[in-house]
Amino acid sequence: MWQDGLNRRVIGALLDVHYNSIGRWVAAFETEGPGAIVSAKRGRKTGGQRRLSVAQERSVQKMITDKTPDQLKLPFALWTRQAVCELVEASFGIALPQRTCGEYLKRWGFTAQRPSRRNYEQKPEAVRRWMKERYPALVQRAKSENAEIHWGDETGVRNDFKPGRGFSPKGQTPVAQNSSKRFCINMISSVTNVGKVRWMVYRDRFNGEVFINFLRRLTKDAGRKVILIVDNLRVHHCAPVKAWVAQQSDRIELVFLPSYSPERNPDEYLNGDLKASLGRKPSPRNQETLEQNLKSHMRMLSKTPARVAAYFQAEHVRYAAAA
């Protein structure tokens, strides 16, 4: 349009651009050619005016990915905005507001998450060997023996469990009614990766007799040998249990998880499912109602194998899904 003889004001009106901009573009074109008027993003360049250099950002990301705060001698259990601020100040002498640290974390793709728990006593090498060597070998042996692999665990539920969140008008905290009496119900259960559930409720303390009773029920309707994977609870290793299992070696075998590794047991997810369900119900006023609520949920799980099989899709137990 300029080369056709139109002036800056006319061109500006046609393009809805200030005529001074038209003058700058024409001057740049005549001086440097077409490459001088390539469109570009306006405003501050990416990374401009940041307190941390690119190298410092990478260093901080690596530290909070590879280490926990206590490993770097910081008084925090998890990486929070405040913990990152103190790490930056200790490492580079740069004091950042918590909001700025939050912006850095967001930019790096870090999100606030509920942590999974680990025992200090857990031996990572034993867990690795279980997942990569021992369990795959167990699966192959189960196939050759036509055996069925179950995962077992014990749990207890009480009447004073914490309910979940509920809606209420702002400023009016909802009230959950509880009995002043405390009572509980115990349960032992097992699951398979195809969704089969076996469970037994008991009120007394868990001991070898209770465990043997559950094993007897478990093998009764299995129709083939059962390989039951459990944790290293002392009752699982007691003499009466060992003697009974030895007598029934053609029907059942006990295999033990690495010590202090409950997150590798899929039956833990059944326990969580159960407690979440009971937490949504009104607090029971007696032990009988608590037991009835527990049994109702477990009967539902027994009839919905797809829901139980979905436990095996959780990150820490996915290795057991393909057995």
Query: What CATH code is carried by the domain that includes residue 240?
Result: 3.30.420.10
pLDDT at 178: 74
pLDDT of 41 > 80? The answer is no
Mark whether 201 and 308 lie in a shared domain: yes
User: pLDDT tens digits, residue range 7-29?
Assistant: 989 999 998 989 998 898 888 88
Mark whether 70 and 30 lie in a shared domain: no
User: pLDDT tens digits, residue range 231-270?
Assistant: 999 999 999 999 999 999 999 999 999 999 999 999 999 9
Domain assignment of residue 114, yes or no: no
Domain assignment of residue 69, yes or no: yes
pLDDT at 114: 82
Structural domain containing residue 90:
54-108
pLDDT of 280 > 70? The answer is yes
Task: Tell me the mean pLDDT in the region 41-46.
Answer: 64
Mark whether 294 and 145 lie in a shared domain: yes
Three-class HEC string of the chain: CCCCCCCHHHHHHHHCCCHHHHHHHHHHHHHHCHHHHCCCCCCCCCCCCCCCCHHHHHHHHHHHHHCCHHHHCCCCCCCCHHHHHHHHHHHHCCCCCHHHHHHHHHHHCCCCCCCCCCCCCCCHHHHHHHHHHHHHHHHHHHHHCCCEEEEEEEEEEECCCCCCCCCCCCCCCCCCCCCCCCCEEEEEEEECCCCCEEEEEECCCCCHHHHHHHHHHHHHCCCCCEEEEECCCHHHHCHHHHHHHHHCCCCEEEEECCCCCHHHCCHHHHHHHHHHHHHCCCCCCCHHHHHHHHHHHHHHHHCCHHHHHHHHHCHHHHHHCCC
User: pLDDT tens digits, residue range 191-211?
Assistant: 999 999 999 999 889 999 999
Q: Distance between CA atoms of 301 and 323, rounded to whole angstroms? A: 21
Domain assignment of residue 113, yes or no: no
Of 69-78, 119-128, 266-275, give the range with the top mean pLDDT: 266-275
pLDDT at 239: 97
Under the banding of pLDDT at 50, 70 and 90, the label for residue 137 is very high
Domain assignment of residue 285, yes or no: yes
pLDDT of 128 > 70? The answer is yes
Q: Is the pTM of this model over 0.85?
A: no
Query: Into how many domains does the chain fold?
Result: 3
Domain assignment of residue 153, yes or no: yes
Domain assignment of residue 165, yes or no: no
pLDDT at 284: 87
pLDDT of 136 > 90? The answer is yes
Report the mean per-residue pLDDT for the chain: 90
pLDDT of 148 > 70? The answer is yes
* Lowest mean pLDDT, pick from 8-22, 85-99, 145-159: 8-22
Q: Distance between CA atoms of 17 and 250, rounded to whole angstroms? A: 88
Task: Tell me the mean pLDDT in the region 144-148.
Answer: 95
Mark whether 153 and 274 lie in a shared domain: yes
Strand order in the sheet with 197-202: 197-202, 184-191, 148-158, 226-230, 252-256
pLDDT of 318 > 80? The answer is yes
Mark whether 78 and 224 lie in a shared domain: no
What percentage of residues in the chain have a pLDDT greater than 90? 65
Mark whether 211 and 247 lie in a shared domain: yes
pLDDT of 44 > 70? The answer is no
Domain assignment of residue 292, yes or no: yes
Mark whether 89 and 235 lie in a shared domain: no
- Any bridge partners for residue 157, and if so which? 185
* Lowest mean pLDDT, pick from 46-55, 138-147, 230-239: 46-55
Task: Tell me the mean pLDDT in the region 59-87.
Answer: 93
* Lowest mean pLDDT, pick from 33-37, 189-193, 302-306: 33-37
pLDDT of 47 > 80? The answer is no
Q: Which amino acid does the sequence have at 127?
A: V
Domain assignment of residue 1, yes or no: no
* Lowest mean pLDDT, pick from 21-30, 33-42, 258-267, 312-321: 33-42
Mark whether 189 and 286 lie in a shared domain: yes
